[in-house]
Amino acid sequence: MQTHTDHIALFSHVSIDYPLKKYTLRAVTDVTFALKRGAVTALVGESGSGKTTIASSLIRCISEPGRVAEGDITFYGSGGEETRLDLLSDKEMRAFRWRKVSMVFQAAQSALNPVLTVREQFSETLEAHGEKLAKEEREARFSDLLDYVKLDAERVLSSYPHELSGGMKQRVMIAFALLLDPELIILDEPTTALDVITQNYIFTLLKKINREKGISMLLMTHDISVVAKFADYVGVMYGGRLMEYGDVRTVFHRREHPYTAGLIGATPSIVGDISQMKPIEGSPPDLLDLPKGCVFAPRCPKCRPVCLTEEPPMREFEDGSMGKCYFYREGDHADTAG
């Protein structure tokens, strides 16, 4: 078992509810996993799988009226301090957010304030966090950051968001996330709506930040190819549950969980054999009307009677992998790999 210094954050049995008028929707159910310090961890899942909800809970940015109903979220700072994020007051959370954990949002065009220049937005954030810097110092910090993400600082700082292209805005957002030297950056689908060449560029940049500055990253994506290329560890979400967690190569090679195997088998690639590809039958679950046993059972090719009555427990293995399936790493299951 690893010590907590290896981890930067730990989700322990976290459930997140959205209380609605007539009923309560549970978007995330009993999720436990740790984020490794210095690594890129990806959460992959389809829309409605709960990946954005769980990641947003780190900085209490879950969209209203969502709230953490059960479980602990702990942050381990580099100085050895432990912070229970779910217990912080709103004021404490405001100070913590962005300084320790920042976020790059999905739609860069709507994440930037359209009536402020980039410089004004950067300054505003510095002031809100009580950083009192001389003008030159501040300018120097902004230019350094923008240079780092390979933008022309002079031009970009005095631009309004609409004067920048999609790829440039996303790079401004990345610089923005680095502004207060955080230890962890949450990346919510950072490249949707960007074309492949810009996407490649953004990920190359993020990888460089991860390696050079040692900043840990939590990436949410629906694209398993991006996970293969960019992440070190991966958690697979489905119907609000974490179905599988492990290091990327193990997860891709062993394909132990039927949902993960299905996702990989349903993702076309530009190399290799495409004649064996097949879609996952059925459609994603309705969170208000979840099946009784395993949430994936109705679509699972390996479904047995037990899967329909009782939800499988999450089991942990020696190499740090976790799987939520009765047949995870069982002999009769291993032959599906490759």
Partner 1 sequence: MQTRQDDIRAETPLMRLENINMVFRKPGALFADRDIHVLKDISLEIGEREIVALVGESGCGKTTLGKIVTGLYRPTSGDVYFEGERVSGVFDKKLSSYNQVQFIQQDSYAALNPVRTIYQSLYAPIKTHHRKWKRAQIDERIEELMGLIGLLPSSQFLGKYPHQLSGGQRQRILMARAISLDPKLIVADEPVSMIDVSLRLSLLNLMKELNEKLGMSFVYISHDLSTTRYIAHSGRVAVMYLGQIVEVGKIGDVISSPRHPYTRALLQAVPIPDPDFKGNDELPLKSMQLGSLENRGEGCAFFDRCLYSREACKQKFGSVLTETAEVLCCNLGQVPSEPVFEKIDRTEENV
Interface residue with partner 1 among 278, 289, 332, 335 (CB under 8 A) is 278
Q: Which of these segments, 93-101, 155-163, 202-210, 321-329, binds partner 1 (CB under 8 A)?
A: 202-210
Of 277, 288, 306, 334, which lies in the binding site for partner 1, with binding defined by CB under 8 A? 277
Residues 86-105 that bind partner 1 (CB under 8 A): none
The span of 3-11, 51-59, 176-184, 261-269 binding partner 1 (CB under 8 A) equals 261-269
Rg (CA), the chain: 21
Q: Which is nearer to partner 1, 54 or 248 (CB)?
A: 248
Residue list 152-171, contact with partner 1 (CB under 8 A): 165, 167
Sole binder of partner 1 in the list 82, 154, 163, 195 (CB under 8 A)? 195
DSSP code string of 69-122: EEEEEEEE-TTS-EEEGGG--HHHHHHHBTTTEEEE-S-HHHHS-TTS-HHHHH
Lookup result for tokens 């088998």: 265
Q: Which stretch binds partner 1 (CB under 8 A): 52-60, 61-69, 70-78, 198-206?
A: 198-206
- Residue from 35, 146, 263, 294 that binds partner 1 (CB under 8 A)? 263
- Could you say which residues in the range 219-248 bind partner 1, by CB under 8 A? 222-230, 248
State the nearest-atom distance from the C-beta of 273 to partner 1, in Å. Answer: 11
Measured from the CB atom, the residue of 149 and 185 that comes closer to partner 1 is: 149
Which DSSP helix (H) or strand (E) runs through 172? Answer: helix 166-178
**118-128 helix and 166-178 helix, angle to the nearest 10 degrees:** 20
Site string for partner 1, 29-58 (x = CB under 8 A): -----------------xx-----------
Containing 213, the helix (H) or strand (E) segment is helix 196-213
Q: How many residues bind partner 1 (CB under 8 A)?
A: 48
Q: Which two tokens stand for residue 319?
A: 């190499």
Task: Name the residue with tokens 């002031």.
Answer: 127
Residues 6+ apart with CB under 8 A from 299: 259, 262, 280, 281, 282, 283
Q: How far is CA 161 from CA 68, 111, 112, 115, in A?
A: 34, 10, 7, 8
> According to CB under 8 A, which residues from 294 to 333 bind partner 1?
299
The answer to whether 125 touches 173, Cβ cutoff 8 Å, is no
Shortest Å distance, C-beta 198 to partner 1:
7
Residues β-bridged to residue 158: none
Q: Is 16 helix (H, G, I), strand (E, B) or coil?
A: strand
268 binds partner 1, rule: CB under 8 A: yes
The nearest distance, CB 276 to partner 1, in angstroms, is 12
CB 201 within 8 A of CB 190: no
Residue 120 binds to partner 1 (criterion: CB under 8 A): no
The residues binding partner 1 (CB under 8 A) are 46-47, 150, 165, 167, 195-201, 203-204, 207, 222-230, 248-250, 252-253, 262-264, 266-272, 274, 277-281, 283-284, 299
